[in-house]
Chain A
């Protein structure tokens, strides 16, 4: 079984040409093709805070700049800050006049106050002079960007400039090009009538609504620059007070040089991703919304659909140009019997052909989709501009599949191995009766419920040197019953499998 953490010796070639262990692959039930993280479309499904595990709607997340409102990171070591409570003695003001005696007027009352503290580097919010708060969350001061007003002014200025430019251009075009309307409008031909009507009603003239240029004070250059402070040459610096580059970048707006200007940073949210097949736009992975749930609503992992190949052992010591064999165990994860055919990998030209076919299939699909969309649109509206914009949304560029980089360096001895892999049936484990042995081909060593062990003989390439890794590769054709359609249909699918069989040994 392939592991999540360890490198797997068995890997499958994805449709896009990348090689991955089966645990990293997905299977699109609609295209009936393998997909990997590279060739699916990633989408943000939901936002949540990894510390307080609160689900945050995406509109709110956008508003909060993708940060959690309650959780903070340490500006010093980027660890999560925790709120600490302390009892503070505060003098309580009494309502009645406190003139009679000093002791009566001011009563000391203990109050719960909170401050933020880092358990990693013992940084506290008191270090930078943030006063303790009387609520644990929500009241922490926000450090504002010092030049925000200047930035807003600049933005407004440029927006106005661009708008003005655009209007001028439009005006110019309007004057330059003769009216191209098929049906001449009597009122709007010169614009004169409209303005006359407007004036009659007493509305302001339309033309005055032109964007007014916004004035901005340009930056003033100066030749009076800050010189180095004189003490830089004589005073030793205390490195512990100078912030390092991570700390500076943690606070991008001001990037303080000294540690006493580091403020608690709002914790960035995490996301749950849903994955979508690029070809048919169906989801292959869709997680559940709740942050604490690790389950999926849609989970089309490849090892629920594709026979799992496991290397049991390599039978013989491997030498270059000699024959060897490996024992594989195949498991059928589906509820239907599979007939399996193991054969040689496609040659390079065959592979190129496959890629071409794939591209062509995409193109046909694309064309039918766009033309269908165009047809439907044309029937609804006759406006050509609308059609073109909607059509343009359809244009999608799909990455070309690549040629598989992984190459096998053995030749299979048998041109084909055919056998049947029984369906998965969880109840057979409890069955008492032993299966009657069937007539089996000789390469099958062992069989039990949905699992089969086979011996795969091969001859290694002559060119291999001592220490080289022997890569066994084969195409595995398997029948897959598609249950998505109303009537289950059977398909013959294929997967390219690569196995590390071990190193070539010396004589």
Chain B
């Protein structure tokens, strides 16, 4: 891989990252995350930090894209995309949001454009296409062909069971990338 030199993948302990996924750019994967095979994470415009206990399923793409004119303004400091904890990116989702909080679910085949600010507890329904610039308030549920919105009153369940299951099963069938980054050790080193 030619851009392997630029790739700076930090995988923390207890994260399950399958060998067959493509991670491009400066990406930090926090403990407890599960990255399935064929998942793609692209950190083009700046580093991506994936929060704890996130699940990134097959064929899903998380991208931190450059602005459309493809130029990085040197005056602006390089921003880091901090993805919060407990997010789920389901099969075939394409997420390019400029901010992702905690506990969001991106259902299958959804697309979230770069101008969307996703706060916490949101659910982007299957097949939903969000293009326009908008800020999703907390606990928004978007569903259906016409992207209808509603506010979830009941918090949706956490994904701990699923994560535990995946953590058990995935290593049996896939080669995993080794954790290569330990914040404690780094601290000692510096």
A–B touching in complex (CB under 8 Å):
yes
A126 to B153, CA, bound (A): 8
Find the B residue at minimum CB distance from A240.
B151
Known: A120-B125, A126-B154, A127-B154. A240 touches B144 (CB 8 A): no
Find the A residue at minimum CB distance from B146.
A244
A123 within 8 A of B: yes
Known A77-B143, A121-B141, A122-B143; further 4 A-B contacts with Cβ < 8 A? A77-B144, A121-B144, A124-B154, A240-B140
A239 to B147, CA, bound (A): 13
B135 within 8 A of A: no
A-contacting residues, B107-139, CB 8 Å: 123, 125
A241 within 8 A of B: yes
A124 to B140, CA, bound (A): 14
B-contacting residues, A470-506, CB 8 Å: none
The answer to whether A122 and B141 have CB atoms under 8 Å apart is yes
User: A interface, by DSSP: helix, strand, loop or mixed?
Assistant: loop
The answer to whether B154 and A77 have CB atoms under 8 Å apart is no
Find the A residue at minimum CB distance from B152.
A122
A326 within 8 A of B: no
Residues of A within 8 Å of B153, CB to CB, are 124, 126-127
The answer to whether B149 and A240 have CB atoms under 8 Å apart is yes
A239 to B123, CA, bound (A): 17
A10 within 8 A of B: no
A240 to B141, CA, bound (A): 10
Residues 142-162 of chain B: 1 if any A CB is under 8 Å from the residue's CB, otherwise 0? Answer: 011000111111101000000
Whole-angstrom distance from the CB of A70 to the nearest CB of chain B?
22
B-contacting residues, A253-267, CB 8 Å: 259
The answer to whether A241 and B151 have CB atoms under 8 Å apart is yes
Chain A interface bracket (under 10, 10 to 19, 20 to 34, 35 or more): 10 to 19
Find the A residue at minimum CB distance from B151.
A240
Residues 239-253 of chain A: 1 if any B CB is under 8 Å from the residue's CB, otherwise 0? Answer: 111001000000000
A238 to B140, CA, bound (A): 12
A238 to B143, CA, bound (A): 17
Find the B residue at minimum CB distance from A239.
B149
Residues of A within 8 Å of B140, CB to CB, are 240
Q: Write the residues of chain B forming the contact surface with A, with a CB cutoff of 8 angstroms.
A: 123, 125, 140-141, 143-144, 148-154, 156
The answer to whether B154 and A121 have CB atoms under 8 Å apart is no
A39 within 8 A of B: no
Known: A239-B149, A240-B149. A120 touches B154 (CB 8 A): no
User: B interface, by DSSP: helix, strand, loop or mixed?
Assistant: strand
Residues of B within 8 Å of A28, CB to CB, are none
A111 to B187, CA, bound (A): 48
Find the B residue at minimum CB distance from A126.
B154
Whole-angstrom distance from the CB of B104 to the nearest CB of chain A?
12
A122 to B156, CA, bound (A): 8
Residues 115-133 of chain A: 1 if any B CB is under 8 Å from the residue's CB, otherwise 0? Answer: 0000011111011000000
Whole-angstrom distance from the CB of B50 to the nearest CB of chain A?
24
Whole-angstrom distance from the CB of B125 to the nearest CB of chain A?
7
The answer to whether B143 and A121 have CB atoms under 8 Å apart is yes
Interface centre among B141, B144, B150, B156 (most CB of A within 10 A): B150
Whole-angstrom distance from the CB of B178 to the nearest CB of chain A?
37
The answer to whether A259 and B154 have CB atoms under 8 Å apart is no
A177 to B23, CA, bound (A): 99
A306 within 8 A of B: no
A233 to B144, CA, bound (A): 31
The answer to whether B154 and A76 have CB atoms under 8 Å apart is no
A121 to B140, CA, bound (A): 10
Residues of B within 8 Å of A259, CB to CB, are 150
Find the B residue at minimum CB distance from A259.
B150
Residues of A within 8 Å of B149, CB to CB, are 239-240
Find the A residue at minimum CB distance from B126.
A120
The answer to whether A240 and B143 have CB atoms under 8 Å apart is no
Residues of B within 8 Å of A124, CB to CB, are 153-154
Residues of B within 8 Å of A123, CB to CB, are 150
Residues of A within 8 Å of B156, CB to CB, are 122
Partner of B125, one of A121, A126, A239, A240: A121
Whole-angstrom distance from the CB of A126 to the nearest CB of chain B?
5
The answer to whether B150 and A120 have CB atoms under 8 Å apart is no
A259 to B149, CA, bound (A): 11
Whole-angstrom distance from the CB of B66 to the nearest CB of chain A?
33
* Among all A-B residue pairs, the 7 with the closest Cβ atoms: A121-B143, A127-B153, A240-B151, A124-B154, A126-B154, A122-B141, A240-B149
Residues of B within 8 Å of A239, CB to CB, are 149
Interface centre among A77, A122, A241, A259 (most CB of B within 10 A): A122
Find the B residue at minimum CB distance from A121.
B143
A244 to B143, CA, bound (A): 14
B-contacting residues, A216-238, CB 8 Å: 238
Residues of A within 8 Å of B143, CB to CB, are 77, 120-122
Interface centre among A120, A121, A126, A127 (most CB of B within 10 A): A121
The answer to whether A76 and B125 have CB atoms under 8 Å apart is no
A143 to B143, CA, bound (A): 26
The answer to whether B150 and A244 have CB atoms under 8 Å apart is no
Residues of B within 8 Å of A240, CB to CB, are 140, 149-151
B-contacting residues, A437-459, CB 8 Å: none
Residues of A within 8 Å of B141, CB to CB, are 121-122
A123 to B154, CA, bound (A): 8
A41 to B123, CA, bound (A): 47
Residues of B within 8 Å of A127, CB to CB, are 152-154
A238 to B151, CA, bound (A): 10
Whole-angstrom distance from the CB of B129 to the nearest CB of chain A?
16
Residues of A within 8 Å of B123, CB to CB, are 122
Residues of B within 8 Å of A238, CB to CB, are 151
A238 to B137, CA, bound (A): 12
A235 to B175, CA, bound (A): 57
Whole-angstrom distance from the CB of A115 to the nearest CB of chain B?
9
Residues of A within 8 Å of B150, CB to CB, are 76, 121, 123, 240, 259
Residues 86-111 of chain A: 1 if any B CB is under 8 Å from the residue's CB, otherwise 0? Answer: 00000000000000000000000000
27 of the cross-chain contacts (CB-CB < 8 Å) are A76-B150, A77-B143, A77-B148, A120-B125, A120-B143, A121-B125, A121-B141, A121-B143, A121-B148, A122-B123, A122-B152, A122-B156, A123-B150, A124-B154, A126-B153, A126-B154, A127-B152, A127-B153, A127-B154, A238-B151, A239-B149, A240-B140, A240-B149, A240-B150, A240-B151, A244-B148, A259-B150
Find the B residue at minimum CB distance from A127.
B153
